[in-house]
Structure 1
Amino acid sequence: MFFKNVLLPFGLFILFMNNNVNAIDERPTLTVYSYNSFISEWGPGQEIKKGFEAQCDCQLDIVTLGDGVSILNRIRLEGDKTNADVILGLDNNLLEQAKKANIIVPHQISKPDNLNIDWWDSDFIPYDFGYFAFIYDQQKISNPPHSMHELVDNKENWRIIYQDPRTSTPGLGFLFWVKNIYGDDAVSAWQKIAKNTVTVTKGWSESYGLFLKGEADFVLSYSTSPVAHIMNNNEHRYAAAIFDEGHYRQVEVAGITKYNHHPELARAFLQYLLTPDVQRQFAEKNIMYSIVNTELPEAFGQIKPINKALEFDAKQVESQQKAWVREWKSTVSK
């Protein structure tokens, strides 16, 4: 015990304790809004929090709000009443909406020389990226589809689970993926998909959990999802179906809100996200590709690579998203 061999007058003891409490209270608190899995037991959030607090002389408060769509909606609702200094978990499909909502300020961080992707933005920094894909169990499916058209036409009557584009960033990515491939014929594609859809969940966790319980043959996730099974359980039965048309790319981003209370601290946090140790955390626990050149876990070399990336321009996404969501909703609800 600290006071085992030292007896202090009661008044001095109280003064000592108050000074220490005040010292702790005087540390600034940086508030980050993020998605649920970021701070979960398997996510990178706890280690990132611990590492940043060790060097910033501050407290990092991570508030989880479901998915990237939920984060954006919450900031819009709270406006200047928000506590958020930083938002982490939006993606390239949502950033134009965030810009139009006027909730972000430029980060003022220079583009790294060792960037691992052809993507950079003055308002948002990318921290990892991946590709949407349908995951299947190789012990159950011996001849997976090799194209989106093959999955959509679905002559094998595969059961499919995916996420709602109104509440989930993967679900929104799937919407854009289908639109990118089918264009004006997207309605016909959604009609076919609906015939074999088991359910459309609010978020990714529910979908993947149902898939692992055997409720579906294919679940919308990421091409890197099998890496998690390899690293965590040495399980090689799960794989991503690789499509000839290509896979829609997701770039996850973080930005500083215009309502932030600690601009320098917020900028330091974004810069911290690009350090090798943190990039490794995103690869190991977010199971995504690193933004800067970083040695990836060995399991990444054991999965099938994506050879063709699909992506809409952010402004096109912002201008067309509502119409495309309405198109999807009216089609699958019939």
Structure 2
Amino acid sequence: MPCINRFSQALALGIGLGLFASGATWAEDRTLTIYTYDSFVADWGPGPKVKEAFEKQCGDCTVNFLALQGGVDILQRLRLEGESTEADIVLGLDMNLMAEARALDLLVPHEADLTPLNLPIDWDDETFLPYDWGHFAFVYDSEALPNPPSSFAELLEAPEDLKVIISDPRTSVPGLGLLLWIKHLYGDEAGEAWQQLNRHVLTVASGWSQAYFSLFMNGEAPMVLSYSTSPAYHMAMEDTDRYQAAEFEEGHYLQVETAAITKAAEDPQLAREFMDFILTEDFQRHIPLGNVMYPAIDLGDELPEVFDRLIEPEGFTFSPEEVQENRRAWIREWLNASSR
């Protein structure tokens, strides 16, 4: 009988150790896959520091960023993969893509507390959680263009030798932002506005990184479609005021960037932990100079002082539903104007 007891005890101990080892392996394998865009995960972007901070907080998880070119690519990847997507979270869909993403029926409520939000507009969406915001703007090189346009109308009417770099609205979130900016300002006359602007377009880049870093920063043109916050990076990291955003008297189109959880999330609890983490200082402090946008919460004294030196334009938007309903027609309008 003692031998049987010892065997039973050894067996129980072995099973217990096996379960413990299995549990340890499961803990080590807690991986959160996040689809986002390339600049977010760049060495200078917020991604690496966000990953480090969240992994320190969760203790036994790994954040795996999968970088795509931009928000439009994230939406397209989600549409193609459907319920088999590998993404637990998609981070980088701005408010102009929200309605189309929602229509895929692949996302679930974030359940995060929205109380900390500090945005220029009201927000109560249960699926999409904001993590930053800003305004689209034309950034100019003050050495090459000491007197930039002060309105959209002035840009359109400028001499043809003033060249700008823009992004494709079919593939780029800033490109889509420009499309909506012009449509909001010019309405039924947007096609004519595009024809005027096209006289100044040096090239249409596929995405923001190509437009800004590959072309504008190499001096290909004195103006580029970007964000009103872009000069903050140059002021803080390069100690230069050379690059500024032109403030247009008609106002600027507002962008809010969001994150959402997919139905396919393997560990929904971990995904929601990350969503809660988004609206904390440990995430948000990396936004101003990492993503070069305004944080979604009030950082107080942690907001870099260079943000006090940026333009503060009037902002406006279409609703996500208006964008969903009209985006293809407005893109066709742009294509038709560009072919003339």
Task: Normalising by structure 2, report the TM-score.
Answer: 0.89
* Counterpart-to-counterpart distance in 2, 1:187 and 1:305: 28
Number of equivalenced pairs: 318
Aligned to 1:290: 295
Aligned to 1:304: 311
Q: Choose the corresponding residue for 2:70, options 59, 67, 71.
A: 67
Matched, 1:160 2:160: no
Rate the CA distance shift 1:325–1:214 in 2: closer, same or farther, 3 A: same
Matched, 1:219 2:221: no
Aligned-partner SS, 2:177: helix
Structure 2 residue runs of 5 or longer lacking an equivalent are: 1-16
Quick check: 258-267 or 234-243, which moved more?
258-267
Paired residues of 1:228 and 1:287 also in contact (CA < 8 A): yes
Aligned-partner SS, 2:275: helix
Q: Choose the corresponding residue for 1:327, options 316, 328, 333.
A: 333
Paired residues of 1:109 and 1:267 also in contact (CA < 8 A): yes
* Counterpart-to-counterpart distance in 2, 1:45 and 1:21: 29
Larger radius of gyration: 2
Quick check: 116-125 or 20-29, which moved more?
20-29
* Counterpart-to-counterpart distance in 2, 1:133 and 1:113: 27
Identity %: 45
2:49 maps to a residue whose letter is E
Give the superposition deviation at 1:269.
0.4
Quick check: 113-122 or 36-45, which moved more?
113-122
Task: Normalising by structure 1, report the TM-score.
Answer: 0.91
Q: Write the mapping of 1:101-250 to structure 2, written as runs, cut at 5 A.
A: 101-113=104-116, 115-120=118-123, 121-155=125-159, 157-209=161-213, 210-250=215-255
Give the superposition deviation at 1:24.
7.2
Residues 259-281 of structure 1: CA deviation (Å, up to 9, x unaligned): 21111111110111110121110
2:79 maps to a residue whose letter is R
* Counterpart-to-counterpart distance in 2, 1:225 and 1:114: 22
Runs in 1 of length 4+ with deviation above 4 angstroms? 19-22
Paired residues of 1:117 and 1:291 also in contact (CA < 8 A): no
Q: Choose the corresponding residue for 2:44, options 39, 42, 50.
A: 42
* Counterpart-to-counterpart distance in 1, 2:220 and 2:321: 37
Aligned-partner SS, 1:154: coil
* Counterpart-to-counterpart distance in 2, 1:235 and 1:103: 44
Give the superposition deviation at 1:114.
5.1
Aligned to 1:7: none
Quick check: 102-111 or 114-123, which moved more?
114-123
Residues 50-77 of structure 1: CA deviation (Å, up to 9, x unaligned): 1111121211111011100000100110
Structure 1 residue runs of 5 or longer lacking an equivalent are: 1-14
* Counterpart-to-counterpart distance in 1, 2:217 and 2:47: 24
* Counterpart-to-counterpart distance in 1, 2:131 and 2:211: 24
Q: Write the mapping of 1:15-26 to structure 2, written as runs, cut at 5 A.
A: 23=25, 26=28
Aligned to 1:31: 33
* Counterpart-to-counterpart distance in 2, 1:264 and 1:20: 20
* Counterpart-to-counterpart distance in 1, 2:99 and 2:316: 18
